[in-house]
Amino acid sequence: MRSAPPLRWAAVAVLATGCTLAASESAPVASSAWTSRAIPEARGEMRVGPDGTRTAVRYKGWTTRDFGAFRTYAYDDARPEPAVQKTAMPGGFAGDAKKGRALFLDRQKAPCTGCHLVPGDDVWPAGSVGPDLSTLGDRRLPDAYLYQQLWDPRVTFPATVMPPWGAQGIFTPEEIIHLVAYLQTLHGPPPPEKDADRNPFTRRRSAGFGDNLDPTNNPAVIRAEEAQALWNARGPKGKACADCHAGGSKTAMRGVATRYPRVVAEHGRVMSLEDFLGVHGEATTGRALPLESDANLDVTLLIKMASDGMPVAVDTASPAARAAIERGKATFYRRVGQRNHACADCHTPERGANKFLGGRWLADVTEGLTRHFPTWRTDRNEVWDMRKRFQWCMTPLGANMLAADAVEYAELELFLTTFDVGKPITAPGIRH
């Protein structure tokens, strides 16, 4: 695993010189400079209680924990990655292997099985991002070495994607001692595998959810089709989308989605379709289409479906686009949150991509991951756009989310979209 390229330092340099400029084509517009047009749950806001405790304003059912102590994607968040911590194993305390095993499997913690296979019929589903630990005890590594590895593995492996569990306060010293005791009990030979699917190295891939464009299979297609009524309906200003974009959305919007996200000179920033509708809908028809509202998602789907089958053709040549893509790439490699993870840690083939993280197959960014967004999520019976997907990732990473229409997210999305160039749009998708 190679270390991250130095591009994020380039982004900081640009920020340092660009801050005093008015919003121009090559300087990034930090989140705080853009007034979010997202619904309240999607703005990345904090609520401060009378006793000073901060809770995050988030979507229903999402954690409201404040991860403010940890680095975010915000361009003006200049905090460095957490320092690498060398430590010594506390003495005079015997680890309990049984407690250690429970911690290893505990979903509230990591779980460690997300990346590492260990023996047991109850281990479902373990991942293959990290090495199989089923016989780790045979290596007779010193307890202190294992303790340091769990406390902060960067001491031994500087380029690792494994989080610094102890240094970041996810596991306590006592818990790590229990984990070490458990790991030392793992001796070979491992029991014969009764079930090839239990083992992530031999597990079958999921079959997916079938034809994403078939409305008898994907509810999002029905949602979008029904939104044609919204397209035709007059807003408070007495105008409808259809008034300027005549002939039905399928004809009027043909090809439009292939060019997004793009630099919108009028607003001095990169915008996705969702971002643009957040401003454009109200400006023209008077009907607000806030980011992450059903209306915004449905109209985005309508517009994107008008380009189904057409190759993605975002601008990657102009100076403004190139600068934005570089910043997006820096964000992709930027480590954030309590877990100290970057997108690249899971989604590049050199690191976690094309492996199982728990039961989830990690997608490879180089294959192009944006052209089926917005996508139906079967697990949630919701349409998710790319921004909600970014915001969700913040939850396991332990980082506060930015507003859905944050410039940081838009430029990250543009970087991801460069891998879809030339490939046919096929929205809405249908996924877990």
Partner 1 sequence: MTQPITRRSALGRLGAVSVAVAAGTLGVSARAHAQASSQALGLQETVQDGLKRVFGGRPMKDGTALIKLDIPPIAENGAVVPVSVEVNAPMTPASYVKNIWIVADKNRIPIVARATLTPEAGQAFVGANIRLGETTDVRAIVEQSDGTLLTARREVKVTVGGCGG
Partner 2 sequence: MSDVGKIRIRVPSAVKAGDVVRVRCLVIHPMERIERDAQGKILDRNYNYITRVTATYLGKPVATFDLTQSVSENPAFSFALKATAPGPVKVTFVDTHGGKYEGTADIAFA
Contacting positions for partner 1 (CB under 8 A): 107, 111, 114, 124-125, 197, 203-204, 206-216, 309, 346, 357-360, 372, 377-381, 392-393, 395-397, 426, 429, 432
16, 76 in Cβ contact below 8 A? no
* Residue 175: its H or E element: helix 173-183
The closest alpha carbon to 297, from 221, 213, 209, 401, belongs to: 221
134 binds, among partner 1, partner 2, none (CB under 5 to 8 A by kind): none
- CB neighbourhood size of 236 (10 A): 10
CB of 215 to partner 2, least distance (A): 4
Number of residues that bind partner 2 (CB under 8 A): 11
Cis? peptide before 428, omega within 30° of 0: yes
For residue 271, what are the β-bridge partners?
Answer: 262
Q: Which is nearer to partner 2, 88 or 207 (CB)?
A: 207
CB of 230 to partner 2, least distance (A): 8
- Region of 29 on the Ramachandran plot (φ > 0 left; ψ -120 to 50 alpha; else beta): beta
Q: What DSSP string describes 97-150?
A: HHHHHHHHH-TTT--GGGT---S-TT--S--SSS---TTGGGG---HHHHHHHH
Q: Which is nearer to partner 1, 269 or 372 (CB)?
A: 372
- Report if residue 76 touches partner 2, rule: CB under 8 A: no
Q: Which is nearer to partner 2, 77 or 225 (CB)?
A: 225
59 binds, among partner 1, partner 2, none (CB under 5 to 8 A by kind): none
223 binds, among partner 2, partner 1, none (CB under 5 to 8 A by kind): partner 2
Do the strands 262-264 and 54-56 form a parallel or antiparallel pair, or are they unpaired? unpaired
- Report if residue 12 touches partner 2, rule: CB under 8 A: no
- Report if residue 217 touches partner 2, rule: CB under 8 A: yes
319 binds, among partner 2, partner 1, none (CB under 5 to 8 A by kind): none
- Report if residue 236 touches partner 2, rule: CB under 8 A: no
CB neighbour list of residue 366: distance below 8 Å, 6 or more residues apart: 348, 349, 419
Q: Which is nearer to partner 1, 2 or 107 (CB)?
A: 107
Among 76, 193, 214, 350, binds partner 2 (CB under 8 A): 214
Binding segment for partner 2 (CB under 8 A), chosen from 74-82, 105-113, 221-229, 238-246, is 221-229
- Report if residue 222 touches partner 2, rule: CB under 8 A: yes
Q: Which is nearer to partner 2, 130 or 374 (CB)?
A: 374
Handedness of CA 418, 419, 423, 429 (dihedral sign): negative
Binding segment for partner 2 (CB under 8 A), chosen from 29-37, 209-217, 274-282, 306-314, is 209-217
- Report if residue 215 touches partner 2, rule: CB under 8 A: yes
Handedness of CA 46, 49, 50, 52 (dihedral sign): negative
CB of 201 to partner 1, least distance (A): 15
- Report if residue 223 touches partner 2, rule: CB under 8 A: yes
92, 146 in Cβ contact below 8 A? no
CB of 237 to partner 2, least distance (A): 20
Among 94, 207, 229, 317, binds partner 2 (CB under 8 A): 229
Among 76, 193, 195, 226, binds partner 2 (CB under 8 A): 226
Q: Report CA Rg, the chain.
A: 24
CB of 125 to partner 1, least distance (A): 6
420, 368 in Cβ contact below 8 A? yes
CB neighbour list of residue 357: distance below 8 Å, 6 or more residues apart: 114, 115, 127, 129, 346
Tell me the per-residue interface mask from 370 to 409 with partner 2, x by CB under 8 A, - otherwise.
-----------x----------------------------
**Phi, psi (rounded to 5 degrees) for 373:** -90, 150
229 binds, among partner 1, partner 2, none (CB under 5 to 8 A by kind): partner 2
Alpha-carbon gap, residue 14 to 326, rounded angstroms: 11
Q: Which is nearer to partner 1, 76 or 367 (CB)?
A: 367
Q: Which is nearer to partner 1, 188 or 210 (CB)?
A: 210
Alpha-carbon gap, residue 69 to 168, rounded angstroms: 10
CB of 426 to partner 1, least distance (A): 5
Q: Count H helices, E strands: the chain? A: 14, 9
Hey, what amino acid is at 319?
P
Give residues in contact with partner 2 (CB under 8 A). 214-217, 219, 221-223, 226, 229, 381
